C-alpha cells in the first residue's frame, strides 16, 4: 500500500468509458479509463454513481469483470425496470464519463496464494466475478485446478461463451441451461442439482475452495448442496445479487 | 429480496474507513458469528438493513439523512476487524 494517500479512504473518481461490447442481447461489458486506479483483486467490486442534470443521483455496485493489470471493466445486465442498467447497457458511449469508487471487498476474492482446487458456480450474470478469477488465475500462471459450472436460461444468455470455451484443458467449464437447450445440446439441462455436483464438485477431502455467485435463491440452493457434500462453510464463499 | 454484505462493501468502507466485508459480526441476539459478507442485506427500504443469517435479527441499520450517515449498531455484540498491518 506504499504511496496510497490515506489507507482505507475511498473516494469517487471520474471514469471515462473506453469501449463497450455487447455480450448478449441484454448484457454489455464496459471498459473504463481510470487513471488513479490502485489495482484490484479478482472478485472485488466497484461502485458507480450517476448524477442527472437535476442533481438526482443513483449508486450501484458492480463486480469487476477484468483481472488486475487489465483495463478495469464491468459487465452489466439490463433489467428493463431498472433505473441504472438500461442507461449503462443502451445509452452509454465511449468517451462518456461516470463516477466510480473502488476496489471494494476482500472476502469474495481469490488470489493464487488462496489455493484450491477451485469450484466456481455461477447463475446468470453471477459469472462476472468468477470470470475475473479465471482470468487472474491464467494471467498469474497459477496451476490451481479450476472448474466452473455456469447456469444460464438458454444458450443465447451465456455471457463470455467464446472466452470460456477457450479454457478447455486448462480450466474445466460446464454449462447447464435451465429453460431451453439447443438441438443436440451436450451440456447439462435444468437447475444445478446434486447429480451435477456429483460429477463436477471436487471431493471435500481435497479441501476445495468454492465461490458461488448469482441471484439469492440460486446461491442459497447451491451452498446448501455443497455443505451437504461436506464442504466446510468457511470454504464456501457466496455472493448474492439482485436487480435494482 | 435479501442480498448479502458484499453489496454494502462501499458504504461500510465509507463509514468505517476500513474494508469490512471480511470483518466478523457477532449477533447480539443469538450469538452467531459470521463475516459481514454473509449477512442478509436489504437495500430497498428507507435505510440499509443488515440482518443475522441465522436468527434474522437486525444487526445494523444505516440511513443517510441530509448528507449524514446515521449508523445503528445496537444489534451487534461485536464487530471484529483485522488490524491494518503496520
Q: What is the pTM of this model?
A: 0.93
Q: Are residues A31 and A148 located together in one domain of the fold? A: no
- Of A1-5, A40-44, A197-201, A238-242, the least confident: A1-5
Q: Percent of chain A at pLDDT above 90?
A: 88
Mean pLDDT, chain A, rounded, equals 93
User: Does residue A3 lie in a domain region?
Assistant: no
Which pLDDT score is estimated for A4? 44
Q: Is residue A100 part of a domain?
A: yes
Among A87, A104, A121, where does a domain finish? Answer: A104
In-domain check, residue A4: no
Residue A212 included in any domain: yes
d(CA A218, CA A90): 27
- Partner A contacted by B71 (CB < 8 A): no
Q: Is residue A51 part of a domain?
A: yes
Structural domain of A222:
112-241
Instruction: Indicate which CATH number applies to the domain containing A223.
Output: 3.40.50.80
Q: Which of A44, A79, A104 is the last residue of a domain?
A: A104
Of A98, A32, A89, nearest to A64 by C-alpha is A32
Question: Does the beta carbon of B77 lie under 8 angstroms from any beta carbon of chain A?
Answer: no
Backbone φ and ψ for A99, nearest 5 degrees, come out as -90, 140
Say if A1 falls within a structural domain.
no
Same domain flag for A125 and A232? yes
Confidence of residue A243 (pLDDT cuts 50, 70, 90): low
Express each pLDDT in A119-170 by its tens digit.
Answer: 999 999 999 999 999 999 999 999 999 999 999 999 999 999 999 999 877 8
Dump pLDDT digits (tens) for A46-97.
999 999 889 888 999 999 999 999 999 999 999 988 889 999 999 999 999 9
Q: Are residues A97 and A211 in the same domain?
A: no
Return the bridge partners of A30, or none: A20, A74
Number of domains in chain A: 2
Residue A49: inside a domain: yes
Query: What are the pLDDT digits (tens) for B36-53?
Result: 999 999 998 789 999 999
Final residue belonging to a domain, choices A55, A77, A104: A104
Residue A117 has pLDDT above 70, yes or no: yes
Query: Both A230 and A149 in a single domain?
Result: yes
Average pLDDT over residues B16-43: 96
Name the DSSP letter for residue A71.
Answer: P
Based on the domain organization, do A66 and A153 belong to the same domain?
A: no
Alpha-carbon distance of A235 to A209, in angstroms, equals 5
Residue given cell 446515521 in the structure block: B70
For testing contact with chain A, the best of B9, B36, B48 (most A CBs within 10 A): B9
Range of weakest confidence among A14-28, A199-213, B43-57: B43-57
What integer is the mean pLDDT of A104-114? 96
Do A77 and A169 sit in the same domain of this protein?
no
Does some domain include residue A2? Answer: no
Predicted pLDDT at A178: 98
Q: Which residues pair with B49 in a beta bridge?
A: B42, B61
A141 & A20 share domain:
no
Q: Going by C-beta distance under 8 Å and a sequence separation of 6 or more, which residues neighbour residue B8? A: B41, B43, B48, B50, B62
Same domain, A134 and A48: no
Whether A100 and A177 map to the same domain: the answer is: no
Decide if B6 touches A, using CB distance below 8 A.
Answer: yes
Taking CA–CA distances from A103, the nearest residue in chain B reads: B10
Q: Which H or E run contains A72?
A: strand A72-77
Sheet with A172-177, strands from edge to edge, namely: A188-189, A172-177, A146-152, A118-123, A209-215, A236-241
Nearest CA to B56 out of B76, B80, B43, B39 is that of B39
Amino acid at each position: 500500500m506504499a504511496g496510497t494517500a490515506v489507507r482505507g479512504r475511498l473516494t469517487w473518481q471520474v471514469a471515462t468509458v473506453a469501449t463497450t461490447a455487447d455480450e448478449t442481447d441484454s448484457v454489455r461489458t464496459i471498459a473504463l479509463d481510470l487513471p488513479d486506479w490502485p489495482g484490484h483483486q479478482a472478485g472485488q467490486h466497484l461502485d458507480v454513481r450517476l448524477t442527472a442534470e437535476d442533481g438526482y443521483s443513483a449508486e450501484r455496485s458492480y463486480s469487476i469483470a477484468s483481472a488486475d493489470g487489465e483495463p478495469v471493466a464491468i459487465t452489466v445486465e439490463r433489467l428493463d425496470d431498472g433505473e441504472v442498467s438500461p442507461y449503462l447497457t443502451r445509452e452509454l458511449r465511449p468517451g462518456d464519463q461516470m463516477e466510480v469508487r473502488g476496489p471494494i471487498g476482500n472476502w469474495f476474492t481469490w488470489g493464487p496464494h488462496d489455493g484450491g482446487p477451485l469450484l466456481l458456480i455461477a447463475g446468470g450474470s453471477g459469472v462476472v466475478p468468477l470470470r475475473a478469477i479465471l482470468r487472474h488465475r491464467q494471467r498469474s500462471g497459477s496451476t490451481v485446478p479450476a472448474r466452473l459450472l455456469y447456469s444460464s436460461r438458454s444458450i443465447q444468455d451465456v455471457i463470455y461463451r467464446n472466452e470460456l470455451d477457450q479454457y478447455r484443458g486448462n480450466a474445466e467449464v460446464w454449462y447447464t441451461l435451465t429453460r431451453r437447450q439447443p438441438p443436440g445440446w451436450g451440456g447439462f439441462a435444468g437447475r444445478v442439482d446434486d447429480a451435477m455436483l456429483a460429477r463436477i464438485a471436487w471431493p471435500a477431502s481435497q479441501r476445495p475452495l468454492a465461490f458461488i455467485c448469482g441471484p439469492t435463491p440460486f446461491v442459497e440452493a447451491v451452498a446448501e448442496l455443497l455443505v451437504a457434500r461436506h464442504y466446510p462453510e468457511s470454504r464456501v464463499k457466496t455472493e448474492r445479487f439482485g436487480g435494482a | 429480496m435479501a442480498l448479502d454484505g458484499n453489496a454494502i462493501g462501499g458504504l461500510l468502507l465509507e463509514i468505517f474507513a476500513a474494508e469490512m466485508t471480511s470483518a466478523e459480526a457477532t449477533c447480539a441476539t443469538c450469538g452467531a458469528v459470521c463475516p459481514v459478507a454473509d449477512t442478509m442485506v436489504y437495500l430497498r427500504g428507507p435505510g440499509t438493513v443488515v440482518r443475522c443469517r441465522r436468527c434474522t435479527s437486525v444487526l445494523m441499520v444505516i440511513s443517510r439523512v441530509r448528507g449524514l450517515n446515521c449508523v445503528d449498531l445496537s444489534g451487534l455484540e461485536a464487530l471484529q476487524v483485522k488490524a491494518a498491518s503496520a
